[in-house]
Chains A and B, each alone.
Chain A
Amino acid sequence: MNVRAPDTPGARRPSVSRAPRRPWSGLAGAPAAVVLMVLAGVVAEVGAAAAWWAPDVLPAPSDLLPAAARIAGSPRFWQDALRTGAELLLSCVFGVVAGLGLGVAFWKAPGAGRVFEPYLVSFYAVPLVLFYPIAIVLIGINQWSVVVLASIMTAIPMTLNTWTGLRAIPPVYLRLAASIGCSRSQTLFRVALPAAAPYVVAGLRLGVAYALIGTVAMEFTTAQAGLGYQVRYLYESFDAVGMYAYILVIVAVSVLLTAVLEIAERLLPRGRDT
């Protein structure tokens, strides 16, 4: 039957191949990543010691790690981390809720969906960070201009993926829901959204990644605080060691987020492979 998803450009197909339900399996990549990092550290150390490059370009890890430890102990770092973390969390929450809501609304009102789809899809390709100056003018130089834009960046993939996932559910699931007397909300929450879950989670992963990129990038350009701001500040004050230490922290946060989301995805009930 015609259960194929209508192709929405930009919406990601979920990465489904999770027959066995072991959340940690497939994270075998983690040790490999650690090995690779250690290797890169050794190369950086040797390179710095042999003066293959100036210490400002890439400081030796033996300088970097103590600096990172010192930074981690400073209250300023925690202020910045807290601010970035709060921005990230708020953007994710707002973006995910808005994206879910819009995705469901477009599914229920296909007419509205068809009207907005081209805009959504083209917004996908627009570097929304460029609207940051406008957000600053409208909202001011504070965390809210960052949160608003990062929320929009999160909401777009969430909307598209939720919508695509809902359109992809086999129609017979909805007839089943009707035949056993599901209410509208039971149909949505107990049948439609679980059936669309692989798409929704794929959208969530994209959305969180976009929120992180957006938040750090906007802090980097114009802000008075935050991890991204610190990277820029230290860069402008020629503190390469401090800058790399902050970059290291941001990378660590993003790796951690990705891992958490991956585990969450694996915890979804299995057996969606058709």
Chain B
Amino acid sequence: MSSPGTGVVLDDVRVEFRSSGRDGPVVAVDGITQEIPAGGFVSVVGPSGCGKSTLLSVIAGLRAATSGSVRINGRTVTGPDRDVGVMFQEDSVLPWKNVTDNVRFPLQIARVPRAGRPRLGPGHRPGRAAARRRIAQRAQEAIDLVGLGGFERRYPAELSGGMRQRVALARTLAMRPSVLLMDEPFAALDQQTRLLLGAEVRRIWGETHQTVLFVTHDISEAILLSQQVWVMSYRPGTILDVVDVDLPADRDASVVSTPRFNALHNRIWERLRTEAMRGFAQENRFPA
């Protein structure tokens, strides 16, 4: 399905935080070596605080690894790349821009697609109007893709949390990145909205065939969405288990009642339960 060297390749990635606390440095990510083939959809599940966000920000080029390397489509990551789209755990929709302006923002920053011709002089930029049109068109496509048509002029304060995450998704998709990194994008939403948006992500992935890394702490969401699930441990953050999701590709939420889904769920839960307990015990070792 993919040629070697494409997709996302993690080579012994390690991230330490030097903390001033008594525990010495916190090893958030410890020697992770994994691969997501181009066009693949991988979820990472793990207890909170295990290093999922840290791993994702290293892949996104937002944080340097202490050691090890990340290669995306054959190139070593040294910083943020416009070919890699990130969706954050927190609400990152800019409140002073309406939906359209939020979605256009990264395109304007990137001036994508670039006006091909060179500048001829001040005030004379033949590519400008055309570039603006292309940006507007791309933003509109992304808005329609995530089902936000009709809400273009709305401001974030007027939208529900689920709608705001749709805006963030549209903003990321508008850049047409070949790799999509999503950090618990729907964690703050209610169960129904989360199911709905998960299905949207899966549908969009079916159309675009981007390489997706989806972080979640919800086992069902991970199984439902992805082709492969990485189970992550708590401190140091390593990959405990890699579970291939051998469910039909055109699955919907009804697969949760199948025995196969249950088997996968149980396998992941068994792995996670001990980790979650260990994490809980460590976090609460010194009661405040």
Q: Contact residues of A with B, CB < 8 Å?
A: 1, 19, 170-173, 175-176, 178-182, 186, 190-191, 194-195, 197, 268-274
Contacts and interface: CB of A to CB of B under 8 A. Distances in A.
A271 B109 contact: no
Interface stretch (B20-28, B90-98, B130-138, B198-206): B90-98
Residue of A179, A271, A273, A274 ringed by the most chain B CB atoms within 10 A: A179
Contacts of A179: 60-62, 80, 84-86
Interface of B: 57, 60-62, 80, 82, 84-86, 88-92, 94-97, 105-106, 109-110, 155-158, 175
Nearest to A175: B62
A271 B95 contact: yes
Residue of B57, B62, B86, B94 ringed by the most chain A CB atoms within 10 A: B94
Contacts of A176: 86, 88, 92, 94
Nearest to B108: A190
B155 A182 contact: no
B156 A271 contact: yes
A271 B157 contact: yes
Contacts of A191: 94
Contact of A180 (B80, B96, B97, B155): B80
A271 B158 contact: yes
A194 B96 contact: yes
Contacts of A195: 94-96
B110 A194 contact: no
A273 B91 contact: no
Given A179-B62, A180-B109, A271-B155, 18 more contacts: A170-B92, A171-B90, A173-B92, A176-B88, A176-B94, A179-B80, A180-B82, A180-B110, A181-B106, A186-B109, A191-B94, A194-B96, A195-B96, A269-B95, A269-B155, A270-B157, A271-B96, A272-B96
A268 B80 CA distance: 31
B158 A175 contact: no
Contacts of A270: 155, 157
Residue of A180, A182, A195, A272 ringed by the most chain B CB atoms within 10 A: A180
Given A178-B62, A273-B157, A268 B91 contact: no
Given A179-B62, A181-B109, A271-B95, A170 B90 contact: yes
B97 A269 contact: yes
Nearest to A269: B96
Please list the 5 inter-chain residue pairs (A to B) with the smallest Cβ-Cβ separation, ordered nearest first. A271-B157, A271-B155, A180-B106, A269-B96, A172-B90
23 contacts: A1-B90, A170-B90, A170-B91, A170-B92, A172-B91, A173-B92, A173-B94, A179-B62, A179-B80, A179-B85, A180-B80, A180-B82, A190-B109, A194-B94, A195-B94, A268-B96, A269-B95, A269-B155, A270-B155, A271-B157, A271-B158, A272-B157, A274-B95
A161 B196 CA distance: 42
B164 to A, nearest CB: 11
A81 B284 CA distance: 68
Contacts of B175: 180
B157 A172 contact: no
Nearest to B181: A179
A197 B97 CA distance: 13
A180 B175 CA distance: 9
B109 A182 contact: yes
Contact of B88 (A172, A182, A268, A273): A172
A180 B94 CA distance: 14
Contacts of A175: 57, 62, 86, 88, 92
Contacts of B62: 175, 178-179
B61 to A, nearest CB: 8
Contact of A19 (B61, B89, B157): B157
Contacts of B82: 180-181
A109 B30 CA distance: 32
A180 B91 CA distance: 16
Contacts of B106: 180-181
A3 to B, nearest CB: 8
Given A1-B90, A269-B97, A272-B96, A181 B156 contact: no
A179 B175 CA distance: 11
Contacts of B96: 194-195, 197, 268-269, 271-272
